[in-house]
């Protein structure tokens, strides 16, 4: 099997070597960069299939660099940094990161996160969620933040993936009484979800309407 190219962006040379050695033993081909400039140079000459990105780079803040990096690649981006505050994690996910690991990171965990993006032999990726931040992440790596009601709605459907969930069950899951619930509220919620994912360039939302029955989360 051809090795997956992971670009490791870390300005600490000792840590970069440690992470590289581990990922190589896990079967990855590791490319290296210590600055944003070097990162962009590597991306212009090499096929990068995943990016492990430190935040505190000598020539840039990795979080602020995410939009520029996203203009060059749609590969999975894993942030690996000592900056673990909630607002920074949310910013990273909104800016285009797919996952956020806070140092010190067990290398086995980093490898496991990378493995979720590359289902060996399946060639498929799935939509994901981050429970800590209520972020919905599409298969293409783009993401959007969900309101509390949107989060609950999506989670109910994802837990019943492939099965139709009735409107009544969804209303109860939202903590409402079906007899007093205006059905137009759910229509608006679904419309808002579709608009959000479209604006975030997340691809087609795998949410299907089954008229007279309810909704189904149906990934290909």
Report the CATH number that the domain containing residue 53 is assigned in CATH: 3.40.50.2300
CA 89, CA 132: separation in Å to the nearest integer? 9
CA 157, CA 159: separation in Å to the nearest integer? 5
Please report whether residue 107 resides in a domain. Answer: yes
The pLDDT value recorded for residue 203 is: 86
Report the CATH number that the domain containing residue 197 is assigned in CATH: 1.10.10.10
Q: Check whether residue 113 and residue 155 sit in a common domain.
A: no
pLDDT band at 194, cuts 50/70/90?
very high
Q: Check whether residue 157 and residue 191 sit in a common domain.
A: yes
Q: Check whether residue 87 and residue 160 sit in a common domain.
A: no
Is the preceding peptide bond at 172 cis, omega within 30 degrees of 0? no
- 91-139: per-residue pLDDT in tens? 788 888 888 888 888 999 898 888 877 754 344 457 887 776 788 888 7
Residue 64: domain span: 5-121
Helix (H) / strand (E) element for 118: namely: none
The pLDDT value recorded for residue 171 is: 95
Q: Check whether residue 166 and residue 104 sit in a common domain.
A: no
The pLDDT value recorded for residue 122 is: 40
pLDDT band at 7, cuts 50/70/90?
very high
Q: What is the 3-state secondary structure (H, E, C) of 126-189?
A: CCEEECCCCEEECCCCCEEECCHHHHHHHHHHHHCCCCCEEHHHHHHHCCCCHHHCCHHHHHHH
What are the φ/ψ torsions at residue 130 (nearest 5 degrees)?
-115, 110
The pLDDT value recorded for residue 149 is: 92
Token representation of residue 93: 């996910």
Mean of per-residue pLDDT scores for the chain: 87
Q: Check whether residue 149 and residue 112 sit in a common domain.
A: no
Token representation of residue 127: 């939509």
Please report whether residue 54 resides in a domain. Answer: yes
**Nearest CA among 136, 162, 164 for reference residue 218:** 162
- 55-91: per-residue pLDDT in tens? 889 998 888 898 888 888 878 899 988 876 777 788 7
Contacts for 52 with CB less than 8 Å, ≥ 6 apart: 6, 7, 8, 9, 10, 19, 78, 80, 110, 114
- Global pTM value: 0.57
Helix (H) / strand (E) element for 17: namely: helix 13-25
């Amino acid at each position: 099997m051809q090795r997956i190219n992971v670009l490791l962006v870390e300005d600490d040379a000792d840590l970069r070597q440690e992470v590289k050695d581990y990922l190589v033993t896990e079967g990855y081909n590791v490319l290296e960069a210590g600055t944003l400039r070097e990162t962009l140079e590597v991306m212009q000459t090499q096929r990068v299939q995943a990016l492990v990105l430190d935040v505190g780079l000598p020539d840039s803040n990795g979080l602020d660099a995410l939009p520029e990096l996203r203009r060059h690649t749609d590969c999975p981006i894993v942030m690996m940094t000592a900056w673990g505050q909630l607002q920074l994690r949310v910013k990273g996910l909104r800016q285009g990161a797919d996952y956020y690991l806070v140092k010190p990171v067990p290398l086995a965990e980093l490898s496991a996160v990378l493995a979720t993006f590359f289902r060996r032999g399946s060639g498929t990726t799935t939509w994901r969620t981050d429970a800590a931040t209520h972020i919905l992440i599409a298969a293409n790596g783009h993401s959007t933040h969900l309101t509390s009601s949107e989060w609950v709605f999506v989670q109910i459907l994802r837990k019943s993936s492939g099965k139709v969930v009735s409107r009544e069950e969804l209303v109860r899951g939202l903590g409402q009484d079906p007899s007093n619930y205006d059905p137009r509220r759910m229509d608006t919620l679904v419309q808002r979800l579709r608009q959000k994912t479209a604006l975030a360039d997340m691809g087609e939302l795998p949410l299907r309407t089954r008229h007279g029955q309810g909704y189904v989360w149906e990934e290909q």
